[in-house]
Amino acid sequence: MSINQEIKKRRTFAIISHPDAGKTTLTEKFLLFGGAIQTAGAVKSNKIKKSATSDFMEIERQRGISVATSVMNFEYNDTLITLLDTPGHKDFAEDTYRTLTAVDSVILVIDCQKGVEEQTYKLMEVCRMRDTPVIIFVNKMDREGKYPFDLLDELEEKLKIKVRPLSWPISVGQTFKGVYNLFDQSLYAFTPGSEKKPMGVAITDLADPAVDKLAGQYAKQIREDVELIEGVYEPFDTKDYLSGKLAPVFFGSAINNFGVKEMLDTFIKISPVPGSRPTDKREIHPDDKNFTGFIFKIHANLDPRHRDRIAFLRVCSGKFERGKFYHHVRLDKDMRFNNPATFLGQSKNIIDEAYPGDVIGLYDSGNFKIGDTLSQGENLNFQGIPSFSPEIFKELVNTDPMKSKQLEKGITQLTDEGVAQLFIQFGGNRKIVGTVGELQFEVIQYRLEHEYGSSCRFNMISVYKACWITCDDKNKLDEFVRFRQHQVATDKDNNLVYLADSQWMLDQMIKNYPEVQFHFTSEFKRKALMES
């Protein structure tokens, strides 16, 4: 099979949502239809009764939430799908933002009872920045919620994007009977809780008596609703969807398997194949002959029994081959990988080759950082994978001096994953951890104890913002560091960081030291590397 044929049969997408919208449940229904699993987990009352395939960490099982992006590969209708299930909780949004750089499209899950929530809006903003194609799945239609037409208006108003329903619910709440697929004009009726493929019938005309048989007393309403949709909304335009201007909308209930297959069938027909990616040198196209890819996620102890560390790489062009040497651009050295793997949550399978769109795991002994590029010899760097300035800062205190080495190793590996950022106060050994959410500290402390055998606590400190600082005049930079030494630290790459204790103080420093540049994302480091 040619590389172009391999590219055309692949789809790589992420599922995103506000917490508790049903994202992980929807993920597992996809895996069920793809035959990747036999029984899906159920998420009820924020507790996972059967551990979700995508939530493999112990703390995820205890809390009933996803705190790390999971990678899953499965095949459906001759299409090879790579699905990335992302954290919904806002404290882990940065992991989700980075994941969105590695996918070609997104499915956004909305709770029909709550509509557009805060995290939904923020995630959509990231998608809009990159014009990522988005499909919206309105979930929990088996519960009493907002009227479907009101939900469509809310989606357009709050998410600032045109929408077009491609499926429509047959009643709502306790009387929810199924969905009508407007895209291929078919009607599906279901049995609540069934994990089997739905019973459906092709409907060329809603006047067909089969509609009355399947929809019962709600047949009249579905006919009226579809007539209104066709009159109010313009016909679905695939080009507008692929350019990020139009979001098709599907309705259903993931936990009861309503409407999931309709969306999955339509998704593989309209969603984009692996696309191009920008670098500092040129645009990389998937059908380019030479291999390129970038690291967007690192996870230590994916399998606690083996203490392994996996770097997740998105293949962007060419063909990746097992055992072949590739160039690590940042380290300027060639490396080969004997056991590249694909994943289904925690389970992994060794692969011999991978193509654009594939996400593969590379065993890593500490060579990789998030954003690193692998290539077939060309020196280039993929763009748009920055770290952001943290919002909460705490001092890491070792409570068991006998386990200092374990703590050092643990905090180094966990911050390499991107779950937090580590700063060492200038002129000392005080470790300061910065995150975008409070829950991350709980996860870090749990993992340090259970995965590394170390013991620690976090003490709150008075830091408002961390800013990377650079200056063309070394003397001016030295002067700044000398006078503000108690507020200066270094990050893991030994870059200088200013820890401002208030917005007022930050403004004063910017005003008093005009020669010093204050950076609020780590993207400047990649630019400096490119210039050198």
Q: What is the pLDDT of residue 139?
A: 96
DSSP annotation string for 296-318: EEEEE-SSTTTT-EEEEEEEEES
Do residue 315 and residue 211 come from a single domain? no
Which secondary-structure segment (H or E) carries 154?
helix 148-159
Residue 382: inside a domain: no
Residue 516: inside a domain: yes
Q: What is the pLDDT of residue 288?
A: 95
Q: What is the pLDDT of residue 125?
A: 81
Do residue 32 and residue 82 come from a single domain? yes
Cβ proximity of 24 and 54 under 8 Å: yes
Q: How many domains does the chain have?
A: 3
Do residue 358 and residue 314 come from a single domain? yes
pLDDT in tens, 436-447: 778 788 888 988
Residue 384: inside a domain: no
Summarize the confidence of residues 306-328 as an average pLDDT.
90
Summarize the confidence of residues 401-420 as an average pLDDT.
87
Q: What is the pLDDT of residue 345?
A: 54
Do residue 370 and residue 396 come from a single domain? no
Summarize the confidence of residues 304-328 as an average pLDDT.
87
Strongest mean pLDDT among 106-115, 187-196, 204-213: 106-115
371 or 357, higher pLDDT: 357
Q: What is the pLDDT of residue 329?
A: 95
Q: What is the pLDDT of residue 55?
A: 44
Cβ proximity of 10 and 105 under 8 Å: no
Q: What is the mean pLDDT of the chain?
A: 84
Strands 43-44 and 47-48, bridge-based pairing: antiparallel
- Of 212, 240, 270, the residue that ends a domain is 270
Cβ proximity of 234 and 241 under 8 Å: no
Find the CATH number of the domain harbouring 461: 3.30.70.3280
- Of 227, 244, 270, the residue that ends a domain is 270
Residue 385: inside a domain: no
Q: What is the pLDDT of residue 426?
A: 78
98 or 352, higher pLDDT: 352
Do residue 465 and residue 343 come from a single domain? no
DSSP classification of residue 115: B
Cβ proximity of 123 and 136 under 8 Å: no
Residue 303 binned pLDDT confidence (cut-offs 50, 70, 90): low
Strands 246-251 and 162-165, bridge-based pairing: parallel
Do residue 34 and residue 96 come from a single domain? yes
Summarize the confidence of residues 336-347 as an average pLDDT.
81
Residue 110: inside a domain: yes
Residue 346 binned pLDDT confidence (cut-offs 50, 70, 90): low
Q: What is the pLDDT of residue 44?
A: 33
Summarize the confidence of residues 74-79 as an average pLDDT.
91
pLDDT in tens, 474-516: 999 999 999 998 999 998 888 899 999 999 999 999 999 999 9
Do residue 511 and residue 419 come from a single domain? yes
Do residue 359 and residue 506 come from a single domain? no
386 or 247, higher pLDDT: 247
- Of 239, 270, 301, the residue that ends a domain is 270
Rounded to an integer, what distance in angstroms lies between the CA atom of residue 316 and that of residue 153? 37
Residue 530 binned pLDDT confidence (cut-offs 50, 70, 90): very low
Q: What is the pLDDT of residue 531?
A: 47
Do residue 448 and residue 313 come from a single domain? no
Q: Among 10, 6, 167, which Cα is nearest to 76's? A: 10
Do residue 488 and residue 503 come from a single domain? yes
CA-based end-to-end distance of the chain? 40
Lowest mean pLDDT: which of 140-149, 184-193, 237-246, 439-448? 184-193
Residue 181: inside a domain: yes
48 or 398, higher pLDDT: 398
256 or 268, higher pLDDT: 268
DSSP annotation string for 183-222: TTTEEEE--TT--SPPEEEE-S-TTSHHHHHHHGGGHHHH
| Phi, psi of 408, deg, nearest 5 | -60, -45
451 or 393, higher pLDDT: 393
Range of the domain at 352: 277-375
- pTM of the shown model: 0.79
Residue 381: inside a domain: no
Do residue 128 and residue 26 come from a single domain? yes
DSSP classification of residue 279: B
> Residue 138 pairs with which residues in a beta bridge?
110, 251
Residue 356: inside a domain: yes
Find the CATH number of the domain harbouring 325: 2.40.30.10
Residue 305 binned pLDDT confidence (cut-offs 50, 70, 90): low
Find the CATH number of the domain harbouring 259: 3.40.50.300
**Is 80 exceeded by the pLDDT of residue 61?**
no
Q: What is the pLDDT of residue 314?
A: 96
Do residue 429 and residue 505 come from a single domain? yes
309 or 379, higher pLDDT: 379
